[in-house]
Structure 1
Amino acid sequence: MNVRMGVLLPTNQSQWDDARQLIDMGVRAERLGYDSVWANDTLLGPRLEPLATLAALATATERVRLGTATLLPAFRRPVTAAQELASIDHLSAGRLTIAVGAGFPGRSEPEYAMSEVPWQRRFARLDDTVALWRALWAGERAFSGQVLRFDELPVSTPCLQEGGPPIWLGGASPSALRRTGTLYDGWLPYPPDPADYRSGLATVRRAAASAGRAADVVTPALFVTVLITDDVADGVRQLDAYCRATYGLPYESVRTIQAIVAGPAEHVAATLARYVEAGAAHLVCRLAVPSIKAQIEQLELLATINWPSTDRPAPDRPTLDRPTLDQSVDR
């Protein structure tokens, strides 16, 4: 099996004693052979801001890709965010990947209010923001979208990666699947059943083909929570504590919403292999332990797992075929 593996950094302040430990963890992940290191985004709870974290990692690492999983663009001024992202792309020598989302009903509404951005039409705003970033990086001097409009744009910092960093969409609703295939460079969902991943990816690829894009232009990724323990029962107990601390929900509820697995290394590997067989080519793993010390222990365990055999070929890095800015989206 040849699949790219990434790890999410534990940016919540409750998980580390010194913020520089996160940079050390990112460097450790690179040395262990991981393909990517990611940071998430929320205004709820004390944590490190993801773009600042990735900027620090950009010069501390050399090979590993750096990404947001996921970035909530609505929390930032869109023109300023374009410059911040372009700066990280330069500092990392073109290793940035941007996964974006529009937030979660029942959780993200207060964050939108704090950002003085309306919750309504959040998906159109997200797509507009991504299109605006690409326009700025391409040197465009005006932009007109469904929600955002700028009659005069400044000369913006171009990205090091031609056309800008790959931009992935997190989400698996019917609308998200269509928009991923039509407008985005990658897909980062977390479906609890590999069969749902397979069917979702098929929908993404059909949408891409309908938009005149290559069917394989969208990188198929997966966000998954993992925990390696001596046995499954002990892993489930630890996952329950983690889910209650993170979401205020029991494991039995979270497992119906998200991809999540715990147990011995061979059990975790077999579960992840089912997603790879369903089409996932890049796994972004969140380590379900509370402390930075335990995170690093899990990082090392996950790096040594033996994958079951599979007939899936090694994933390629397709040439990005981005849509034009006037391409419409079926909502």
Structure 2
Amino acid sequence: MRLSTVILPIHRWAEGQKIWRRAEDLGFHAAYTYDHLSWRSFRDGPWFGAIPTLTAAASVTQSMRLGTLVTSPNFRHPVTLAKELISLDDISGGRITLGIGAGGSGFDATALGQEAWTPRERADRFGEFVPLLDRLLTEDAVTHEGTHYSAVEARNIPGCVQRPRLPFAVAATGPRGLRLAARHGQAWVTTGDPKLYEEGTPEQSVQALREQGKRLEAACEETGRDASELDRILLTGFTPDRNTPLESVDAFVDFAGRHAELGFTEIAIHAPIPDSDFDTDPAVYERIATEAPAQLA
């Protein structure tokens, strides 16, 4: 079981760089950030861009993996995103993972002036976005004319440092998204079942995640993929127990152990942010980072 963290892009870099450096010092496998234009309760406060933040983080860390959880088509185009990712992978020395999902109906959905897409429209776009991005990151030149996205001799030389391209961690729970994870993903990401967030129980959440895992395995079988080839990442903070797993090292080890039994290979916890949904004790957070992995080995 690998332990990673999520550092929201809310700090000016003079302060933010200390948090990214500290994450590496604590031994986290990876540090991710959200790729949004703004997000929920942070909408009226500082919020910086994911790609510049990760570029800066790459310059102040040496070995920790870096990435997005998650990027979506809400305000991205595959051609420009591919160029940024190839550059970021080069700057980081091949340490980037792209967490990618279909997006939602939050602030990003209408920031460019468009009407919010329906779930079906998001799935349609995602279904075209991911395969095109895959090609853009693996081929020197790509031409594609699709329903939603096009590319005309889009060149991406020399390609990614990681070969054949940087890994995709595909966030999905529905059948179409899970098939994309099976075809194109090196990892699958979930936050659990959002319907259980308010009134569900931890036991119901575990069962829902078990069922999601079974659907992933079915999608892999359908596409001829060995499901064991995919890492499984749980982004915490959105299951019914909220921040309970971060109350102590023992609580976290118990939580992580139950999810390891479901096949999860990586758990990502949020770096503490006072007076927010992620307001946890910094001392406990650091103890989890340094003590829990040995107990989960």
Instruction: Give the TM bin, normalised by the shorter chain.
Output: 0.7 to 0.9
1:87-106 → structure 2 map (5 Å cutoff): 87-105=87-105
| Pair 307,98 (structure 1): closer, same or farther in 2 beyond 3 Å | closer
TM-score normalised by length of structure 1:
0.73
Letter in 1 for 2:232: P
In structure 2, the partner of 1:112 is 109
Give the root-mean-square deviation of aligned CA atoms. Answer: 2.7
In structure 2, the partner of 1:218 is 230
Q: Which moved more, 1:37-46 or 1:114-123?
A: 114-123
Compute the displacement of 1:126 (Å).
Answer: 2.0
Compute the displacement of 1:196 (Å).
Answer: 2.1
CA contact (8 A) 1:269 1:308 kept: no
Following the alignment from structure 2 to structure 1, what is the Cα–Cα distance between the partners of residues 239 and 134? 36
Find out whether 1:304 has 2:290 as its counterpart: yes
TM-score normalised by length of structure 2:
0.81
Compute the displacement of 1:305 (Å).
Answer: 3.3
Q: Which moved more, 1:136-145 or 1:269-278?
A: 136-145
Q: What CA deviation, in whole Å up to 9, does each residue of 1:100-152 have, x standing for no partner?
A: 122224xx2x52222255614222212322222222221233124453233x2
Compute the displacement of 1:35 (Å).
Answer: 0.6
CA contact (8 A) 1:139 1:155 kept: yes
Following the alignment from structure 2 to structure 1, what is the Cα–Cα distance between the partners of residues 242 and 146? 32
CA contact (8 A) 2:71 2:101 kept: yes
Q: Could you tell me which runs of 5 or more consecutive residues in structure 1 were left unpaired when the two chains were aligned.
A: 226-253, 315-331
Q: Could you tell me which runs of 5 or more consecutive residues in structure 2 were left unpaired when the two chains were aligned.
A: 193-201
In structure 1, the partner of 2:182 is 181
CA contact (8 A) 1:66 1:97 kept: yes
| Pair 307,294 (structure 1): closer, same or farther in 2 beyond 3 Å | closer
Following the alignment from structure 1 to structure 2, what is the Cα–Cα distance between the partners of residues 178 and 136? 20
Find out whether 1:270 has 2:267 as its counterpart: no
CA contact (8 A) 1:287 1:295 kept: no
CA contact (8 A) 1:178 1:203 kept: no
SS of the equivalent of 1:168 reads strand
Compute the displacement of 1:204 (Å).
Answer: 0.9
Following the alignment from structure 1 to structure 2, what is the Cα–Cα distance between the partners of residues 221 and 33? 17
Letter in 1 for 2:160: C
| Pair 200,268 (structure 1): closer, same or farther in 2 beyond 3 Å | same
In structure 2, the partner of 1:162 is 163
Following the alignment from structure 2 to structure 1, what is the Cα–Cα distance between the partners of residues 51 and 241? 27
In structure 1, the partner of 2:21 is 27
SS of the equivalent of 2:98 reads strand
Instruction: Select which of 251, 257, 261 maps to 2:245.
Output: 261
Compute the displacement of 1:295 (Å).
Answer: 7.2
Find out whether 1:208 has 2:205 as its counterpart: no
Q: What CA deviation, in whole Å up to 9, does each residue of 1:259-303 have, x standing for no partner?
A: 863422211221121111111101111145327997754442222
SS of the equivalent of 2:172 reads coil
Letter in 1 for 2:7: L
Q: What CA deviation, in whole Å up to 9, does each residue of 1:183-230 have, x standing for no partner?
A: 3221110116223222212221221122122222221111013xxxxx
Following the alignment from structure 2 to structure 1, what is the Cα–Cα distance between the partners of residues 221 and 283? 43
CA contact (8 A) 1:93 1:160 kept: yes
Q: State the number of aligned residues.
A: 273
Q: What CA deviation, in whole Å up to 9, does each residue of 1:224-279 have, x standing for no partner?
A: 13xxxxxxxxxxxxxxxxxxxxxxxxxxxx65497863422211221121111111
Work out the percentage of aligned pairs sharing the same amino acid.
24
Instruction: Select which of 3, 9, 19 maps to 1:11.
Output: 9
